Amino acid sequence: MEICMRQENASKCSVSSMECFMVLSTQAQKISIATLCGLFGTLCVFENSLVLYLIFSSPGTRRKPSYLFISSLALADILASLNFVCSFLNFHVFQETNLSKESFLLQLGGVNTSFSASLSSLLLTALDRYVSISRPSEYKLLMTRKRAWVALGVLWVTCGTTASLPLLGWNCCALNSTCSELFPFVADSYLSSWICLVTVLLGCIVYAYAHVLRRAHQHVAYMEKHQAQPGKQNSRMRMDIMLAKTLVMVLTVLVLCWSPVLVLMIYSVFARLSARLRKVFAFCSTLCLLNSMVNPIIYALRSKELYSSLRMVFSRFRRRTKASEESPEAESAHKSSVIET
């Protein structure tokens, strides 16, 4: 391991140098990583697919910009889990070294695109709530479905372009610059730029949620004084407060899951990482999957519309199951009545 860490940049650009980044040395570590990835990845795909189904199966939710942004988040989490689990297990557990530099950077770009899109979708959702609470009377004019789709298009194109930069030439091999100690062929300059981008996104999300939470607190105080006044305004404020609290919970989970990875990335830019810290980084990376898995659970518990849709799905499933169980008995009873007749 020390020999690998002391390599020159020229040798780090060879395909054989990828073995130096495979930090899982024992079978127990590989089994632990595979178990975490398999569990989190499977639940993430199932839960986010269910969220997409609940949103687009109901006309009331699929027409709202808020749920378009949430569906973008769910789609990004599905792609992130698939890309991350496949590439991560292939690299660290099965230790595939036959990949070319271009193939590895393409896989890394897919993971980067999906996780960046997940974070950017949270930003759009936060801005949507910011506009909804800051300018409620103009919300429907400002946040239309057309603008929401345009924003999502710009989001995915930007994330895909940014993640493709190492493949297009911004890597330590093409530039003959300092290579990252965490990712093969990735330049420290690109990693630093990506960290800055993520930090800016997180800062904007925190600012938007702070404003949303403050206004939501004001709404709660207002409703406590005017509980006797029914109407659509109170209903609208209740929905804003519920969704604001939901998104704050999502942000909290996001920060807790991503902060260990970002801290180790920042540390790797300025100092050498020991073999132990690199193993810690590999395990902390699975927290990103945990974040993608927890998001839909929060939606199901906090969003009344999605929760109601989920209950309707379960009730229909129970009715169909009950009908299928009773149908053989009903058919035999019908046959016996015909015979008696």
Spell out the SS3 assignment of 136-184.
Answer: HHHHHHHCCHHHHHHHHHHHHHHHHHHHHHHHHCCEHHHHCCCECCCCC
Confirm if 269 and 192 have CB atoms less than 8 A apart.
Answer: yes
Residue identified by tokens 């297990």 is: 89
Q: In this structure, what is the dihedral angle of CA atoms 193, 255, 290, 170, given to the nearest 10 degrees?
A: 0
Confirm if 309 and 56 have CB atoms less than 8 A apart.
Answer: no
Closest C-alpha among 24, 110, 38 to residue 290: 38
CA distance 55 to 51: 6
Question: HSE (CB half, 13 Å, CA atoms) of 222?
Answer: 15
Confirm if 85 and 37 have CB atoms less than 8 A apart.
Answer: yes
**pLDDT given at position 75:** 94
AA letter at 264: L
Secondary structure, 3-state, 280-334 = HHHHHHHHHHHHHHHHHHHHHHHCHHHHHHHHHHHHHHHHHHHHHHHHHHHHHHH
Q: How many CB atoms lie within 10 A of CB 279?
A: 18
What CA–CA distances, in Å, run from 199 to 119, 221, 242, 266, 295? 11, 33, 27, 11, 20
CA distance 32 to 38: 10
Token representation of residue 117: 């899109």
Q: Cα-flanking dihedrals φ and ψ of residue 186, to 5°?
A: -90, 130
**pLDDT given at position 16:** 60
SS3 212: helix
Beta bridge partners of 187: 179
**pLDDT given at position 165:** 94
Domains (range + CATH), the chain: 25-304 (1.20.1070.10)
Q: What is 97-114 written as a DSSP string? A: ----HHHHHHHHHHHHHH
**pLDDT given at position 253:** 84
pLDDT tens track, the chain, 341 positions: 444 544 445 456 666 667 777 878 788 888 988 898 899 999 999 999 999 998 888 877 888 888 899 999 999 999 999 999 998 888 888 877 677 888 889 999 999 999 899 989 988 988 888 888 878 888 888 888 999 999 999 999 999 999 999 999 898 888 888 888 888 889 999 999 999 988 888 888 888 877 877 777 676 666 667 664 555 555 555 656 666 677 677 778 878 888 899 999 999 888 888 888 888 998 888 888 888 888 888 766 667 788 788 888 778 877 777 776 665 544 454 444 434 43
SS3 13: coil
